[in-house]
Structure 1
């Protein structure tokens, strides 16, 4: 697993002009996709990423529908040639011990898109930024956006602090016709405008770390994502195989359960929950933890306004649900694709109003809601997927569609008409502290 080296950062430091058609804040999958496809349309694009490369980020597991935006980006052959483990399936573990049969994606789709990848995000994100550069975007890392410039209610550019070749910083104001907020959980515009709301039903927190030499199943099952509930069903672990025999293993639970004042530090809580998941403990008998622990608190949120005159949000700046179905990277890539096409249309028409720039967002929000409602069902104490499918077998295809990411498919949401008002159990009100950003120890 690549860890950032602060003594030897890798930076893109190209010359930066005074104005661009589009400025993108953030170089994750959403920002890189937007920048790449807008540049491919022939517009001038500046992408500002505040970190040097490679930059550490959690969220390593891809779902099958990720194939299609990667194909449009010209990335599929590069993914096939990479060292990323192939992901053929997902497997669930209930009550800490009971392992389900693997859910093989190819059983429902014989296309090559049924095989996806477990990615090391430092490498994957850099691949996407490299592709954006190839397609004509100007990518500047260690470029810190400090403010969005508005004239009235219209975004007309950004203020930023750019790293120079000599190590100094230059304050700049860059004009643009469109500003794209792809700043991730920082939600650069949404936070400043007071537009980010926590999901009241998903007040969860996560503790995660990385292990070397954890046991993986043989053959193609070795790349599977495992979703492993603890014996008391108060938390669950993800198990995501990565290159170099490293596995990402994180624990998710209600905020009070994970971060209550009497719980102790992150390592204490992680070890407490690990003892409640014997199926995972078995996989770690010969393993060694290779990083410190990281935390993210109360991470499920959505933005009440995601497009304005001259600006729009994509990726985690738009909203984030929950990691249980590994939807994050797919929604970032797909949202970047939608946003790029809307920007192209808006620039062609000379109409940079909120309705034009945000024309894709109602469909996108419906897709997010399909994921969100299935997440609610996962956490609902009185709901059983097995019982539901035995009673309504005709909706199995809808559930499969959502699990693989085909959430924009017409009719896929019909499952929720019979599923009912599924809500997870409550949690104590969260504080107003900001979402914590992980830092490599």
Structure 2
């Protein structure tokens, strides 16, 4: 496919954030050129969707494709305590009786191809195997990109807006040194895949299970996928997982011994992939936009995977940025103030999810909280399903604080 030399928008990266932002802008009649350095399908972690992804998938025209896919349907999440006690499943439908309360456990290599093809079908110029070498600036304003194809040919592509959706290795987060690590959530993960592992039946087959380690040092995810695969990973503090340990395989095996429920579930299963690890976890950019440029998805930030918020935050940041860019293109305003106007509300939502993550790591009992504040059951479920972007949820955290301080003064 030939490259439009002067589109209105250039998007770097074809993952969920890049596919979302480009599709929504193209739907409004603007020319968008998307450059992805790899050839899809490619492997990626981040396999569990949460219900609030539904609304963005609907706008993208992806819902029918998801419904006819062979991805495992997910209706709930379940927590297992350090002693092995299972919580009742959190059924999303109990909180929102709507079809959005059924979501999916996806294979990212397939899902990302579906999203990128959907973008191309809606008019985005999609170019795979194209590496963006540089973002071009005139003064402080981004004005385009320099790309190189697989044959080594370089091309300058000018645009009104450059969207960086290139993931954790984001070009602009590094260029402007915007990355702010989250010292409180300095975690890492080690994971692999099993075939033939235990899974619940019926409605519970696709539940995400979050299992605490016996010594409370971290937790396992357990995500049933299609083709009888289960994704199994351990998350804990970076130093604990990676310093002075005998290697990722040995560490994974050692942590399994501290989570007998997972060990039992995979006892008759076959490990079918090498052990993988990631050490570059929670961080955020200090700003989401500048004149003529925007960061979305992991290029803007990544939050701990505890509540499977990664794909939601990619889709949501892509959606919000697209709406701000479209409005800016209509009004001839691609300043930071216009195309980054979504940042404050998005960060507030991200911070609500972050607070929920931190409470889990602090050993906070949500069960006890709901018993004391039954009026918050719906709000806590809203947070778990990713319905994060509404200020009234902050009352939950005010009452968590009051409960904690009451508990402290009672001791």
Q: Which TM-score applies when normalising by structure 2?
A: 0.96
**Deviation string, structure 1 residues 270-294 (Cα, Å, up to 9, x no partner):** 0000011111111101111111111
Cα distance in 2 for partners of 1:355, 1:141 equals 31
Q: Report if the CA contact (8 A) 1:29-1:333 is conserved.
A: yes
> 1:124 and 1:418, CA in 2 relative to 1: closer, same or farther beyond 3 A?
same
Cross-structure match for 2:408:
none
The answer (yes or no) to whether the contact 1:373–1:422 under 8 Å persists in 2 is: no
Partner of 2:389: 408
Residues 93-172 of structure 1: pairs in structure 2 closer than 5 A: 93-95=80-82, 97-163=84-150, 168-172=151-155
Bigger shift: residues 90-99 or 365-374: 90-99
Which structure is higher in helix share? 2
State yes or no: 1:187 paired with 2:174.
no
Deviations 1:62-102 (A, max 9, x none): 00111110011111111010000000110111115211111
Aligned to 2:288: 306
Q: Work out which of the residue numbers 309, 324, 327 in structure 2 matches 1:345.
A: 327
**SS class of match (1:19):** coil
1:308–1:151: structure 2 CA closer, same or farther, 3 Å change rule?
A: same
For residue 236 of structure 1, give the secondary structure of its aligned residue in structure 2.
strand
Provide the rounded CA distance (Å) in 2 between the counterparts of 1:229 and 1:399.
Answer: 20
Aligned counterpart, 1:244: 227
1:330 positional shift: 0.8
Counterpart pick for 1:374 among 326, 331, 356: 356
Give the one of 310, 315, 325 matched to 1:328.
310
Q: Distance in 1 between matches of 2:261 and 2:402?
A: 32
* Distance in 1 between residues matched to 2:403 and 2:52, nearest whole Å: 25
Residues in 1 aligned to 2:83 and 2:240: alpha-carbon distance in whole angstroms? 17
Matches of 2:286 and 2:193, distance apart in 1 = 34
The Cα shift of 1:410 comes to: 3.7
CA distance in 2, matches of 1:289, 1:19: 49
Residues 182, 313 of structure 1: 8 Å contact kept: yes
- For each residue in 1:219-261, what CA deviation from the matched residue of structure 2 results, as whole angstroms up to 9, or x when unmatched? 111101010111111011111111111111111000111001x
1:208 is aligned to: 191
Match of 1:47 in 2: 34
Aligned to 2:340: 358
Unaligned runs of 5+ in 2: 405-411
Structure-2 separation of matches of 1:297 and 1:204: 7
Once the 2 structures are TM-superposed, how far is the Cα of residue 393 of structure 1 from its aligned partner?
2.1
Write out aligned runs for 1:25-44 (5 A).
25-44=12-31
Q: Which runs of 4+ in 1 moved over 3 A?
A: none
Match for residue 251 of structure 2?
269
2:27 and 2:83 mapped to 1: Cα distance? 48
3-state SS of the aligned residue for 1:420? Answer: helix
Deviations 1:187-221 (A, max 9, x none): 22011110001001100000011111111011111
CA contact 1:96–1:276 (8 Å) conserved in 2? no
Unaligned runs of 5+ in 1: 1-13, 424-441
Classify the secondary structure of the residue corresponding to 1:367.
helix
| 3-state secondary structure, aligned to 1:62 | coil
Report the more deviating stretch, 23-32 or 407-416.
407-416
Q: CA RMSD in A?
A: 1.4
SS at match of 2:45: coil
Aligned partners of 2:403, 2:249: CA distance in 1, in Å? 32
- From 175, 178, 181, the counterpart of 2:161: 178
SS in structure 1 at match of 2:205: helix
Query: Within 5 A, what are the aligned runs for 1:271-286?
Result: 271-286=253-268
Counterpart in 2 of 1:257?
A: 240
